[in-house]
Structures are given as structure tokens and as C-alpha cells.
Structure 1
Amino acid sequence: MSSITESVDVKVNVSIAYNQWTQFESFPRFMDGVDEIRQIDDTHTHWTMSVAGVTREFDATITEQNPDERVAWKSDSGPNHAGVITFHYIDADTTRVTAQMDIDPEGFAENVADKLGILDRKVKGDMERFKTFIEDRHGQETGAWRGDVDHPGQH
């Protein structure tokens, strides 16, 4: 299992950064290797990815979501992974977006990519592309979902 942490400061306020991140179907526009994400319902997504020449499909569950603070998920099928994206107020027009992920590479290609540091660089690139994507939109997110998903065990 590999742990990856990457942060990027984006020149938009916390709500805009968070709102854009809740638009999972827009991820292929800034995430390398993500071909499609379908939002099944408020807490379930289906992903199609191409990594190292291998296409993978998997389902993921949003395990926690708190507006302007965090979005956490875990995979239900396919490569075992989980993570959280957090949103930190820097000032009125700047937000630090931090991705923390635990990934258990599946298959030879993914294990080689992990050992060579390719997965770390991919996440760093995805975060940089998110920064460009949201900043180039001049503060206009593509949509928003402001609902709460409580972490299991919380009431």
C-alpha cells in the first residue's frame, strides 16, 4: 500500500474549490488517465481509467463529505484505494486543496508505476491541472453539491 499526499494552492475561494471538486463527472477534464466518471447517486460513482495501457473500471463510495471542508472515498471494487481531499482557507481568494490517498496497486504495470514514483507524479500533475482548470474558469465552478455525508460511526 502506497500513501500519497499532494497539495496545491488555488486562486479561488474555498466554496468554489469545494463545489468544483464535487463535480466528479468533470474529473476527466483535469485528471490524467480518467476516461469517465458516472455519478450513480449522492454517494456512489463508477470510474473508467486507463493507466499504463491498462483499462480499469471500478466503483467507489463517498464515505464522508462536509461542504467546504472535505470529501473522502473508498473503492468498492477494482484496485484497493481510499482517500480524502481537504480544503483549507488561506485567504478570501486562496484555498489549499490537499489530496491524501492510500493506493494498493493492482497488477504488474501499476506496481512498476508505484515503485518508479509515477503514481506520485500523476497525483501531483492532477492537482496542478485542477488548479489550472478552476482558475481558468475565473471563479465559475461547473456545478455544486452541498450535501453532507456523515463518516460511518458518526450521527
Structure 2
Amino acid sequence: MSKVQESIDVDVPVSTAYNQWTQFEDFPKFMDGVEEITQIDDRHNHWKTKIAGVSREFDTEIVDQTPDDHVTWRTTSGDIKQTGMVSFEPIDATHTHIKMTMDFQPEGMAEKAADMTGMPDRQVKGDLKRFKHFIEDRGTATGGYRRNL
């Protein structure tokens, strides 16, 4: 298993950052390579991605979710094996520290080579930067999910 851990500070309150992050179908607006996410129910999402010319589809399950604190997930189908957590920590009333941690199993020579060169770390770092710009430019979330899972 490989691990990616990246973080970023955003200039919005913790509830705004968390609420936007729970809008999974908006991920293609700031996540490079994510083409579509369909939210099936409160816990399950279907993903379509295309990274470095490779298309994949897989399902994820939210295994733990606490409003304004964290979302934890795992893949449940497809050829991607991944678990992860994104956490939200208030810095003050208008700023939030976001930390993402993912464990994944690279498959095949191309993914193993990309992992060895740090591509997944750069991908997550870029996604967090795009999320920062997306939410700061908007100033408000497009929606939010507030129930503990």
C-alpha cells in the first residue's frame, strides 16, 4: 500500500469547507481526472475517472462522517483499492485547515512508476489547491450534508 498525505488552509469557515466537500457530484469541478460522480445514497457514490488516458469506474462507501470534522471512505468495487479521510479543523472563525490522507494499492507498471515518482502526491496537492480556489471564489457551499454517518 502507498500513502498520500497533503493539507491546505482555506479562507472560509469550517462549516463552509465541510459542506462543499460533501457535495460529491461537484468534485469534477476541482478534481483533475474525475469526470463524473453519481451519488447513489447517503453512503455510496459511483465514480468515473480518466487519468493519464486510463478510464476507470468504481464505487466508494462513506464509512464515517462527522459534520465539520471529517469524512472517511473506502472503495467497494472496481480495480481501485483505496481508503481515505479528509479532515477539517477550524483555524479561527473564517479559516479552515483541511488534511487529506489516502492509502491505495498501485496496480500495474504505469501506476507503480507514477507512485514512485510522487505523482499521486502532486495530484492530491493540486486537487486541494483547486478546491481552495473553488470554495474561496464562491464564498459559500453549493449545498451540504450535515448528518453523522
Moved over 6 A (4+): none
Give the length in aligned residue pairs: 148
TM-score with structure 1 setting the length: 0.93
Give the CA deviation at 1:109.
Answer: 2.1
> Which AA in structure 1 matches 2:2?
S
Task: Check the 8 A contact 1:52/1:110 in 2, yes or no.
Answer: no
Residue matched to 1:88 = 89
Q: Structure 1 residue 147 and structure 2 residue 147: aligned?
A: yes
- Aligned residues: percent identity? 55
> Which AA in structure 2 matches 1:117?
G
Unaligned runs of 5+ in 2: none
What is the root-mean-square deviation in Å for CA atoms of aligned residues?
A: 0.7
Mapping of 1:68-147 within 5 angstroms?
A: 68-77=68-77, 78-137=79-138, 139-147=139-147
How far, CA to CA, are the matches of 2:39 and 2:108 in structure 1? 26
Q: Structure 1 residue 42 and structure 2 residue 42: aligned?
A: yes
Q: Structure 1 residue 5 and structure 2 residue 17: aligned?
A: no
Q: Helix, strand or coil for the counterpart of 2:40?
A: strand
Residue matched to 1:153 = none
Unaligned runs of 5+ in 1: 150-155
Residue matched to 2:15 = 15
Give the CA deviation at 1:108.
Answer: 2.4
> Which AA in structure 1 matches 2:100?
A
Cα-to-partner distance string for 1:111-134 (whole Å, 9 max, x where unaligned) = 121111111100000001000000
Q: Helix, strand or coil for the counterpart of 1:41?
A: coil
